[in-house]
Each structure stands twice: as structure tokens, then as C-alpha cells.
């Protein structure tokens, strides 16, 4: 073999080795007090996680893991208690994580990854909002009197905290539109079910992030999953519009579209069963601040007109009974409360073509819809004429 051929082979091997090394990402760190435990590394997608590897923490609390990446990806480190540390890893990164076993996932430091640090700040801010909401809920529970004047500022503070969190998330998206950390921000949740960006109009932010990432990271699995999720959301929205068009064209359709939905005790309550009353059919959700604020304003109207034959039939677009019930009890919504607990697969909102919250329909004693989206003094003027 001549010298030229040998150099060519060696150069080829060197380039291959460098390429392989460049794709390797190292995650190491110290978990003080966590010696002998096991943590897992999982890949985080839009709607699911995928197990990558189990990592043994040495007696001195140190751990080390190497994984191969082709594109930047979101990952989580999870301990045996289900607590997590979020990471955004890129090919070739060398990241160090330091924390204590007692504060795993709550108090930790990251070096070697600006994007992972950005996600840590997102997590920290949302944790602060959750603590504030929990504190306000506990304070309201301790008062336990809806007529107490102290309840109103608590309710205002609760709504203000939700609005502030949403503004923070939107501001982050605007400043980091081309970063994969923006995908994490899009899907942050107050709890297992309720997104920070939970309104139909928020889809615009999902689209903007997807458009930006498709230019920067077109082959990323996160980018592709985000686009697929957007397509599914739009398909559900278009399906609801199509269903409403079919219903509006149907011959012989008059009055209301009857609903029969379970209440908190799993007892079905129907709209048609309330015939003879003036009804406000109200669509809302426990994680939607605008709809909660609208229903809070409705309470005084309900108290004023209920004895005269006015009823509220509030349909919650939720899928978690605990969240729904906590919101009903916390806000003292003492009218008829029902929920299919299957959102976004619920049918009531599709039948009434509800595309944003809050949405209300005023129904007269003959069970005909006479007005939509009335609030405050305007609603009371209508009630004065209908009751």
C-alpha cells in the first residue's frame, strides 16, 4: 500500500472519529446526598417522553452520562420520586448539573448550556406563580365566606397572577422565537391538564414558533411534533365549524340544541328540563382566566334574578374533575355546573360552535336562543324584559 493511500485512509478515519465525537453530548454532575440512587434520562417530546437510559449516582453523589445527538433535543433527568430537571441538549454539549437530593428539580445549577439555563428560568417563574395561586386558594379557604369583602381582592389577585404569567410566557416566546426552548414554553402547564397558553387565540403563538423553527431546525423531531400538534388542533377547530354549518342548514331545527351533561355528583341535567326559566348557557374552563372573570361578574346578576326565574347552566370545558370542582368552590359558582370532563373531545362546545371563551347564550322561557355573549348591565336589561 503506497503512502498516499495510507494517508487517505487515515484521514478518512480521523474525519469519521471527529464527526462521531462531535455528536456526543455529555451530562455530568453532583447530587449531594443522592449517592447510590438511580436517575433516568428521558427525551421530551410535545406530548410524551421516551426513556433513554438509567444512570447510577455514585456514592460521592457524582454521575456521568454520554448520549449521541444529531439535532438539539429536550430531555429530562428524573429521580425516583418523579421530580425532574429539564435540559435542552445540543450535539457536542458538555453540561454539568449540581443540586441536592432534597431539592432535586426545584433548586439546581446548570453550566455549559445557555438554553438549559433559560428553561430553568421558565420553570422557576411558573413555580412562583403556582405558589402564589396556591397561597391565594388557601387564604380563600380560610375565610370560607363568599360575602366577606376580603374575598374580592383575593379573586382579583388570582386572576392577575394568571395574566402576569401568560404575559411572561408570551414575552419569552417573542424574544426566543428561533430557539427550541420556546417549544418548552408553549407547553408549560399550571397542572397536569391546564396549559398557560390555553385559549384558542393562543394558537397564533404555536404557529409563529413552528414557522421560525422550521427555518432553523427543519429536521428536529420537536419541530415536526409541534407542527403535527398544530395541524391536529386546527383539524378539530375546522371540524367544529363544519358541524355547526351542517346543523344550521338542517331542516326543522328550531330552538335550542338540547344538552344533557353530568354535574359533580354524576347526575345528568338537561337544558330542556329547565323549560319555563330564562337560562344563560355559559361555556367556561377552570384554566381560562377570562371566562372565570366573566362568571365572577355574573354572580351578582344571578343573585338578583334567580328567584324571579333566571338560571345559569354553566358548561365547563375541562378534563380534570378536581380542577373543575376546585374552581367552582373557590369562586362560589352556585348555579348549575356540569361538565363532560372530556375536553378537547367534548361535544357541547362543538354543537354550539364555541371557538373561544367565555361564550354565553341567552335562552328565553320558550327555549329559543335570543342573544349571545351578554354581560353586566346589558344582560340585566335583557333579563328585565324576558322575566
* pLDDT score recorded for residue 45: 81
Neighbour tally for 296: CB within 10 Å: 17
Report how far apart, in Å, the C-alpha atoms of 358 and of each of 16, 69, 129 are. Answer: 58, 44, 23
Report how far apart, in Å, the C-alpha atoms of 54 and of each of 24, 26, 66, 160, 265 are. Answer: 17, 14, 12, 42, 43
Surface-to-core class of residue 213, CB atoms within 10 Å of its CB (0-12 exposed, 13-18 middle, 19+ buried): buried
Interatomic CA distance for residues 30 and 241, integer angstroms: 53
Residues in the chain with pLDDT values less than 70:
1-22, 146, 193, 236, 239-255
Q: Is 166 left (phi over 0), alpha (psi -120 to 50) or beta?
A: alpha
Q: In CATH, which of 2.60.40.180, 3.40.720.10, 3.30.70.580, 3.90.1150.10 is domain 3-112?
A: 2.60.40.180
* pLDDT score recorded for residue 297: 92
* pLDDT score recorded for residue 251: 38
* pLDDT score recorded for residue 253: 42
Q: Residue ranges per domain, the chain?
A: 3-112, 118-244, 260-386
Interatomic CA distance for residues 74 and 93, integer angstroms: 13
Give pLDDT tens digits for 241-268. Answer: 665 555 454 434 446 788 999 999 999 9
Interatomic CA distance for residues 273 and 109, integer angstroms: 59
* pLDDT score recorded for residue 18: 44
Which of 292, 282, 376, 375 is closest to 328 using CA atoms? 292
Q: How far apart are the first and last CA of the chain?
A: 102
Interatomic CA distance for residues 179 and 223, integer angstroms: 10
Pairing between strand 24-32 and 94-100? Answer: parallel
* pLDDT score recorded for residue 239: 66
Query: Cβ(68)–Cβ(52) under 8 Å?
Result: no
Structural fold of domain 260-386:
Glutaredoxin (3.40.30)
Angle at 67 (CA atoms; ends 62, 69), nearest 5 degrees: 145
Asked if the domains 3-112 and 260-386 are classified in one and the same CATH topology, the answer is no
**Packed helices 114-143 and 321-330: angle between N→C axes, nearest 10 degrees:** 50
Interatomic CA distance for residues 387 and 331, integer angstroms: 26
Give pLDDT tens digits for 99-137. Answer: 999 999 888 999 999 999 999 999 999 999 999 988 988
Query: Cβ(37)–Cβ(5) under 8 Å?
Result: no
Amino acid at each position: 500500500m503506497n503512502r498516499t493511500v495510507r494517508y487517505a485512509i487515515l484521514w478518512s478515519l480521523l474525519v469519521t472519529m471527529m464527526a462521531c465525537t462531535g455528536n456526543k453530548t455529555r451530562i455530568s454532575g453532583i447530587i449531594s446526598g443522592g449517592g447510590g440512587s438511580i436517575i433516568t434520562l428521558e427525551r421530551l417530546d410535545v406530548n410524551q417522553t421516551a426513556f433513554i437510559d438509567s444512570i447510577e449516582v455514585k456514592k460521592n453523589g457524582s454521575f456521568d452520562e454520554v448520549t449521541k445527538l444529531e439535532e438539539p433535543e429536550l430531555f429530562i433527568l428524573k429521580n425516583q420520586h418523579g421530580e425532574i430537571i429539564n435540559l435542552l441538549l445540543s450535539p457536542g454539549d458538555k453540561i454539568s448539573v449540581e443540586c441536592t437530593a432534597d431539592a432535586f428539580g426545584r433548586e439546581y445549577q446548570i453550566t455549559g448550556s445557555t438554553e438549559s439555563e433559560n428553561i430553568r428560568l421558565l420553570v422557576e417563574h411558573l413555580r412562583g406563580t403556582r405558589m402564589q395561586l396556591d397561597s391565594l386558594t388557601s387564604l380563600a379557604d380560610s375565610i370560607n365566606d363568599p360575602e366577606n369583602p376580603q374575598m374580592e381582592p383575593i379573586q382579583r389577585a388570582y386572576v392577575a397572577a394568571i395574566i402576569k404569567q401568560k404575559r411572561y410566557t408570551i414575552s419569552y416566546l417573542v424574544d426566543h422565537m428561533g430557539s427550541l426552548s420556546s417549544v418548552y414554553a408553549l407547553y408549560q402547564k399550571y397542572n397536569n391538564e391546564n396549559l398557560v397558553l390555553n385559549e384558542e387565540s393562543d394558537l397564533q403563538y404555536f404557529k409563529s414558533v413552528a414557522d421560525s423553527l422550521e427555518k432553523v431546525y427543519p429536521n428536529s423531531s420537536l419541530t415536526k411534533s409541534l407542527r403535527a400538534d398544530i395541524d391536529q388542533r386546527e383539524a378539530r377547530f375546522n371540524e367544529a365549524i363544519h358541524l355547526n354549518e351542517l346543523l344550521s342548514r338542517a331542516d326543522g331545527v328550531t330552538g335550542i340544541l338540547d344538552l344533557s351533561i353530568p354535574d359533580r355528583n354524576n347526575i345528568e341535567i338537561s337544558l330542556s328540563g329547565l323549560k319555563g326559566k330564562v337560562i344563560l348557557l355559559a361555556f367556561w374552563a377552570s384554566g381560562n382566566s377570562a371566562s372565570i372573570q366573566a362568571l365572577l361578574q355574573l354572580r351578582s346578576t344571578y343573585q338578583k334574578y334567580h328567584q324571579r326565574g333566571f338560571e345559569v347552566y354553566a358548561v365547563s370545558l375541562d378534563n380534570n374533575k378536581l380542577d373543575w370542582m376546585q374552581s367552582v368552590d373557590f369562586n362560589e359558582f352556585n348555579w348549575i355546573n356540569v361538565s363532560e370532563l372530556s375536553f378537547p373531545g367534548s361535544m357541547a362546545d362543538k354543537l354550539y360552535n364555541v371557538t373561544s371563551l367565555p361564550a354565553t347564550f341567552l335562552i328565553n322561557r320558550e327555549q329559543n336562543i335570543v342573544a349571545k355573549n351578554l354581560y353586566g348591565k346589558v344582560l340585566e336589561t335583557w333579563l328585565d324584559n324576558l322575566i
